[in-house]
Amino acid sequence: MWRSCGQLLRRNLLAANTISSGLLMATGDLIQQRIERHLHPHTPPKQYDWSRTGRMFTIGLLQGAPQHWFYFYLDKWLPGTALLTVGRKIVVDQLIASPFCIILFFSGMGIMEGNTVKECGDELNEKFMTVYVADWCVWPPSQFINFYFIPGNYRVIYVNALTMLYNIFLSYVKHDIPVKGDPKN
């Protein structure tokens, strides 16, 4: 069974990376919505916000393909698993991929919510550093494991699995931290 899964992943790696990115982003949001229910027990129970989860799924899909190609080319530009090479990959990941994903997340979510470009920019300006600082705490050690131990064709799947937990945090920052001056809050 594992061999069949491995062969399927190798043949359809871009699709697997893209779909898993969307599914795990959506799963993180559903978990966060569940947490929100437990943190606010005195508010009337609400059903899951499936449109919110759908937006998270869409952003995950939009991030899956760029991550697939980013890791593919990163391994070509910086081949091997020597400690210095792994360190360079981590720095490149944090300086290029991380800001790209954060910007895509807040901009894409805002646009799908019907916000103006200015509103998206305001939210990004206000929340970027919160997410980016957390990113620097979570991802360098995780990426060390990824770049040192995980074979290249499984890198995005590994990142996506960890991202599901990280997506709970992203969903929290996106949906539970109000933007200053936003009349909706």
Rounded Cα distance between 13 and 126, Å, is 35
* pLDDT at site 8: 59
**For residues 91-97, average pLDDT:** 96
Condensed to tens digits (0 to 9), the pLDDT of residues 155-185 reads 877 887 888 888 889 889 998 777 776 655 5
Higher pLDDT, 113 or 44: 113
pLDDT recorded at residue 163:
84
Boundaries of every domain in the chain: 2-176
Is residue 84 over pLDDT 90? yes
Cβ distance 106 to 174 under 8 Å?
A: yes
Query: What's the confidence (pLDDT) of residue 120?
Result: 95
Distance between the two ends of the chain, CA-based, in angstroms? 50
Backbone φ, ψ for residue 37 (5° rounding): -60, -40
Lowest mean pLDDT among 15-19, 43-47, 136-140: 43-47
Phi then psi for 115, rounded to 5 degrees? -75, 155
Angle 83-84-88 from CA coordinates, rounded to 5°: 115
pLDDT tens readout for residues 54-77:
999 999 999 989 988 998 999 999
Tokens for 50, please give them. Answer: 């499936």
* Residue 73, pLDDT score: 94
Tell me what percent of the residues of the chain surpass a pLDDT of 90: 57
7 pLDDT tier (thresholds 50, 70, 90): low
